[in-house]
Amino acid sequence: MFNLFQNKEVKCPVDEEMRGWIEYAMQWLMLEFGEEFFHEVAVYSNMKELLNAFDKETATLDELGEIVSYIMFLDEEDIIYTVYDEGENRIETGTGFFPVNAVEGEVTTGGMYVGKNEDSKYDVGIERKVLQNPVHLVSTIAHELSHVWLLGKKEMDVNDEYLTDMLPIIFGLGVFGASSCFSFSQSNSGWATQTKGYFNQMEWGYALAVYSWLRKDKNPEWVKSLPRNILSDYKQSLKFMENNQDKLFQQEV
């Protein structure tokens, strides 16, 4: 036989620029939030597991907000959620009206981080139809709370939606983000979630693989809950990393 596939090179599912950024950003998050926490945090595989951990069978928006806040080490009393309907051009948060702007050509936003209000609370908008899908709801809440961390607590000057996508991974909520594959855009008053995918499936696969690699856990139980296409990219990413260890983590954090 000709062994046609014996020496076939395993390619990285993302390009070199994105690969370098993901590796750098994941290391930065690990150092910023603590290596011990990074390695020991529990990863939630699915909705049932998440609810069972908090002795619940179902949960409302406020209850899920409380759960995700707890997981992400935020005080739920500092977060104010406002539900709005698709097509609305503004939302009322209790401290004022704020415009809702989706990405051009899109008709839905999903979620929106408004910012810190005059009462020192963080206003977050959730589109009503997201309430119908618990996995998307958890993903949306986690994304908006990542804004609370990065733009609020960490006071970062520039919003980075890729980093905001990535942050829930280190809090054990990466499966929810990968399963939702939302995208995000800036409006003139906040940051809006899109139901398309900002991190695409290949980027989710590589980001989760880097997370597993740094945790020295290359076959975690939670990967079984990933969507099939992202699981495929995850496995390909790990094979690439195994075969190209000399190329990894080249940027100093």
Q: What is the pTM of this model?
A: 0.86
Q: How far apart are CA 27 and CA 24, in angstroms?
A: 5
Determine the pLDDT at residue 183: 41
Cβ atoms of 214 and 38 closer than 8 Å? yes
**Cβ contact 177:204 at 8 Å:** yes
Nearest-CA neighbor of 98 among 112, 109, 86?
112
For the chain, domain boundaries: 14-43+200-253, 57-164+175-199
**What is the edge-to-edge ordering of all strands in the sheet holding 122-127?**
79-84, 122-127, 111-116, 191-194, 183-186
- Residue 101's pLDDT is 54
DSSP 98: E
Contacts of 48 (CB under 8 A, 6+ apart): none
Query: What tens digit of pLDDT does each residue of 121-170 get?
Result: 999 999 998 999 999 999 999 999 999 999 999 988 888 989 999 999 99
170: CB partners within 8 A, 6+ apart: 26, 29, 30, 33, 37, 38, 41, 211
- In the predicted structure, residue 3 carries a pLDDT above the cut 60: no
Tens of pLDDT, residue by residue over 184-240, are 445 555 655 554 447 999 999 999 999 999 999 989 999 999 999 999 999 999 999
Please, what is the average pLDDT of the chain?
A: 86
DSSP-assigned beta bridge partners for residue 83: 126
Fold of 57-164+175-199: Zincin-like (3.30.2010)
Tokens matching residue 178: 């990968």
